Amino acid sequence: MSVSLQKGQTVSLSKAGGPALTKVRMGLGWDAVKKRGLFGARKTQDIDLDASCLLFDRGGALVDQVWFRQLRSAGGAVQHTGDNVTGAGEGDDESIIVDLPALPTTVQTLVFVVNSFTGQSFAQVENAYCRLVNEVNGAELARYDLSGSGPHTAQVMCKVARDRDGWAMTAIGAKGTGRTFRDLLPVVAGHL
């Protein structure tokens, strides 16, 4: 059963007595707002949002990153499935798969961010979301709505962090600017 998260809300990804979560997929989906063209016709535009996963150690140091220019983490535990440059189509437009047991024990937190590589603001994006899916059985675990127009071109979507019971997901929703994850690092630092 999926949990719809609100900004700042955390949900445990561990079930008492249940099997341990092993492989998850963070899916990002979005649509471009249709613009009115000549004579009231609606035109679609391409918007290139990019999902990235940042891996941090217990001290908050960035130890690895997965994004459209580096599709795999150093050990292969995190893998980006490819860059969607338009947002066209149904369902998840970009996905990042994480093999939780294969993560180095030094990795404490995974932070998922989204950037508008082409520079359009979120005022031009609708139906944006991120969702965490159990990759083993396809069940959606949690979803966070990213829509909300504004002049920002990037967002810190959420983090998945180790806790005493396993893993927990926190919806962050912090807005920022920038074309790649590097531009968001100062914003991310405040949420580790």
CA distances from 10 to 7, 142, 149, 155 (A): 9, 10, 24, 17
Condensed to tens digits (0 to 9), the pLDDT of residues 134-177 reads 999 999 999 888 877 789 999 999 999 998 878 999 999 999 99
Burial of residue 40 (CB within 10 Å: 0-12, 13-18, 19+) is exposed
Full-model pTM: 0.91
* Chain segment 17-50, per-residue pLDDT in tens: 567 789 999 999 988 887 766 666 666 778 889 9
100-142 pLDDT tens trace? 999 999 999 999 999 999 898 998 888 889 999 999 999 999 9
Is residue 63 pLDDT above 70, yes or no?
yes
CA 40 to chain centre: 35
Q: Classify domain 3-13+20-35+43-184 by CATH architecture.
A: Sandwich (2.60)
Rounded to the nearest integer, the mean pLDDT of the chain is 88
**HSE on the CB side for 17, CA within 13 Å?**
0
Closest CA to 171 of 135, 136, 131: 131
State the chain's maximal CA–CA distance in angstroms: 61
Q: Given this model, what pLDDT does residue 149 score?
A: 72
Cα–Cα distances in angstroms (integers) from residue 53 to residues 70, 71, 145, 150, 164, in the given order: 10, 10, 18, 23, 22
Can you tell me whether residue 186 is helix, strand or coil?
Answer: helix
Rg of the chain taking only CA atoms, in angstroms = 16
> Does residue 33 contact residue 125 with C-beta atoms inside 8 Å?
yes
DSSP assignment letter at 188: H
